[in-house]
Amino acid sequence: MTDKKGRIGILTGGGDIPGLNQAIRGVTLRALSEGFEVVGIRRGWAGLINLVRDAGADNSEWILPLDKGIVERYAYSGGTFLHSSRTRPSTVPLKDVPAHLKDKYTAEKNDLTDEVIANLEFLGIDYLVPAGGDDTLSYAVELGRRGFPVVAIPKTMDNDVPGTDYCMGFGTCVNRTIAMARQVTSSATSHERIVVLEVFGRYAGFTALLPTFAGAADRCVIPEAEFDMEKLAELLVADRNGRPEGYSVCIVSEGAMPSGGEMVFMAGEKDMFGHAKLGGIGQNVSNKIKELAPKYNGGKKIDMISMNLSYLVRSGAPDAIDCIVPTAYGNLAVDLILKGETGRMVALANGRYGSVPIDEVVSTKKVVDVARCYDAERFRPKYDGLAGLPLMVLGGSA
């Protein structure tokens, strides 16, 4: 390929979400119209450590030139056609060091950032557009500090990337959670059961709070506030018995913790960002509520429905918001490149598109403002004081 204005690289890292393919399309079509060439880097940051810098090497596993036909083909499908990984080039375990680099990197943890920069130069990439959550983008911050021109796009179902009111994938997640919570009530009604739904949210509870705010659940428990299991059981039984249909629903963030307890992890090793895989708190809550329910139900037991929605809300096509916002974010990224404003992340703030310094990703945390937006005694959103809050976020704060 012969450069025109330059060459833009795009990668997607971390968990997949609906809307990534729209963002890739947005960047690519705009960049091509402005005279750039566009290269997709496959499997996130893994693509930039596995590349072999040899003109005769077959790097098609890691690199995909992008054109209108490719990006249009996948635009309305879920996930990312560039694939993804949870790779952090600055902390690569020895077992994950590519074969052609094993003689050079022999520590238990290895910083391959020099290889990433050399590979970007080998590919002739002038600007990099990574789409990811705070983990993926925290490495983009490192790369930017090393002097490589980066413009980031925020993506995560948890909506917890600092610096923006909205992250791609969040709208579809909330829509699906509401739909599935409403759908399961027909079974819950038939058998007069209590429903416990586990959703994503390691440190931030937006994915549990927003559906509950919209009426999809009676109660929710979130990572920002420990909860008393006994009190939760009492409230859910009262909710069930107070409804003519005889059911109640609780949404549980995967990172929620009962008083004096801790996060529930699946068995397995940690990823390169130091995170063990969460999962199981929903079932734990369901089991305990079933045990405690007779105490508040005249001695009669109540059967439960427990579901982990996880990949059901992550998979599939994006909703309208996750078609519109990613397209806008992709075009905004190219706008910044055209103006020479790199080291930034595209963002939505106060209902307006814009950008912030990418360093904001690592300078603060975005979590639910419990004092303003969550009733920690009643395990539900607050419905007063909404003026001034963002459309899709109930009070994110540092």
Residue 157 lies in a domain: yes
Residues 373 and 328 in one domain: no
pLDDT band (50, 70, 90) for residue 2: very low
Q: So what's the pLDDT on residue 170?
A: 96
Percent of the chain scored above 90 by pLDDT? 88
pLDDT per position as a tens digit, 14-47: 999 999 999 999 999 999 999 999 999 999 999 9
pLDDT per position as a tens digit, 238-257: 999 999 999 999 999 999 99
The count of structural domains within the chain is 2
- Concatenating the DSSP letter of every residue in 161-203 gives -TT-S--BTHHHHHHHHHHHHHHHHHHHHHHT-EEEEEE--SS
Residues 327 and 311 in one domain: no
Q: Which residues, other chains included, contact 299 with Cβ-Cβ below 8 Å and sequence gap of 6+? A: none
Segment among 140-154, 261-275, 313-327, 337-351 with least mean pLDDT = 261-275
Residue 124 lies in a domain: yes
* Distance, CA of 198 to CA of 220 (rounded, Å): 10
Runs of H (alpha helix) within 223-320: 229-241, 281-292, 310-314
Residue 238 lies in a domain: yes
Both tokens of 75, joined, read 């635009």
Q: State the CATH number of the domain containing residue 382.
A: 3.40.50.460
pLDDT band (50, 70, 90) for residue 218: very high
Residues 196 and 236 in one domain: yes
* Distance, CA of 95 to CA of 205 (rounded, Å): 34
Q: So what's the pLDDT on residue 392?
A: 79
What is the widest separation between alpha-carbon atoms in the chain?
A: 77
Residue 1 lies in a domain: no
Percent of the chain scored above 70 by pLDDT? 94
| DSSP category for residue 296 | G
* Distance, CA of 120 to CA of 10 (rounded, Å): 11
Q: So what's the pLDDT on residue 264?
A: 65
Q: State the CATH number of the domain containing residue 117.
A: 3.40.50.450
Segment among 2-11, 27-36, 224-233, 350-359 with least mean pLDDT = 2-11
79: phi then psi, degrees, rounded to nearest 5: 70, -155
Q: So what's the pLDDT on residue 275?
A: 47
Q: Average pLDDT of 191-215?
A: 96
Catalytic amino acids?
158
**If DSSP states are collapsed to H, E and C, what string results for 143-155?**
HHHCCCCEEEEEE
Asked if residue 398 has pLDDT above 50, the reply is no
Residues 90 and 225 in one domain: no
Q: What is the pTM of this model?
A: 0.93
pLDDT per position as a tens digit, 375-386: 999 999 999 989
pLDDT per position as a tens digit, 38-50: 999 999 999 999 9
Q: Are 133 and 358 in contact (CB under 8 A)?
A: no
pLDDT band (50, 70, 90) for residue 318: very high
Residues 48 and 195 in one domain: no
* Distance, CA of 375 to CA of 24 (rounded, Å): 39
Residue 189 lies in a domain: yes
Question: In Å, what is the CA distance from 110 to each residue of 89, 114, 160, 273?
Answer: 8, 11, 28, 13
Residues 209 and 270 in one domain: yes
Q: In terms of residue numbers, what domain contains 193?
A: 173-315+369-397
Q: So what's the pLDDT on residue 109?
A: 96
Asked if residue 268 has pLDDT above 80, the reply is no
Residue 25 lies in a domain: yes
Q: Average pLDDT of 120-136?
A: 97
Asked if residue 284 has pLDDT above 90, the reply is yes
Q: Average pLDDT of 283-305?
A: 97
Residue burial 112-121, b: 16+ Cβ < 10 Å; e: rest: bbebbbebbe
Residues 103 and 247 in one domain: no
Residues 135 and 214 in one domain: no
- Over the chain, what is the mean pLDDT? 93
Q: Are 184 and 29 in contact (CB under 8 A)?
A: no
